[in-house]
Amino acid sequence: MKSVTTPDAITAELSADRGLTWRRLVFIAGIVATVAIGTVSAVLGDLEGGAVTLGFALATWLTRVRRGTLGAIGVALAGAITLYFMLAAAMTNIREGSPMSSVLISSILAAVSLLALIAAIGFLANPASRSIAGPGLGVGASILLLGGLVVWGASISRVDIDAGDIVIVSENMAFSESDLRVEEGELVVTMENKDLFWHTFTIEELGVDLRVPVGAELGASFEAAPGEYQFVCAIPGHVEAGMLGTLTVES
């Protein structure tokens, strides 16, 4: 006679197992990621980070519903997206000699996102596994990633960025200036990003595409003839949120 697994049976099975399973790890990793991203987003006042926090929280809650498959998929997607941006941010902050606080923020969020991704993939591949070896490997990999990035960041001296003709700050999905006026010739733009996720200062007509991660302050130089040029943040959805302006170059 074929046995039927009921929700009560699943709950009983989970309650009986006190070890560190993939399902338990993905739930813990989701909570850690939610708290970490939510805390940083709250400190920075970043609405986009708040939306990511809500996504992580919902996916984490769904890991406890029925078999948890839908929630694990959500945690995997949120973890992969956040890991992509935060790991790239950490590497850029390290390369450019950004303040240690910026390196730590991006590194820690990269680590917790990696843990969430590993846990979600592990659960989806082994939903019935009770082995602690796999989850332990995921935790170890995340800690090694974080430690390596912090040590590397501490060993690199900071690169000074010269003050330029154009100084702009991106904060809460907005540029600090939307109407810039400068003299023609070689220009320097310096942008500081105070949001959790990436922003860019992009002028397609001039071939300018300055990409700035969380906590970083980067600069670029370019030539511009007299005229009006539109600058935008090239991250999808950010122009629609109002991240654009006009650069007027006068003779």
- 88-117, pLDDT tens digit by residue? 888 887 777 777 778 888 888 888 898 899
Within the chain, which residue ranges are assigned CATH 2.60.40.420? 166-250
Other beta carbons within 10 Å of 197: 20
The per-residue pLDDT for 92 is 82
**116 and 154 Cβ atoms separated by less than 8 Å:** no
What pTM was estimated for this model as a whole? Answer: 0.70
Q: What is the pLDDT of residue 197?
A: 86
The closest of 197, 191, 169 to 90, measured between CA atoms, is: 197
Average pLDDT for the chain = 80
Q: For residue 138, what pLDDT is reported?
A: 60
The pLDDT score that the predictor gives to residue 17 is 47
Q: For the domain 166-250, what is the CATH code? A: 2.60.40.420
What are 187-207's pLDDT values in tens digits?
888 888 988 888 999 999 989
* Closest by Cα among 174, 191, 175, 185 to 226: 185
pLDDT at 155 over 90: no
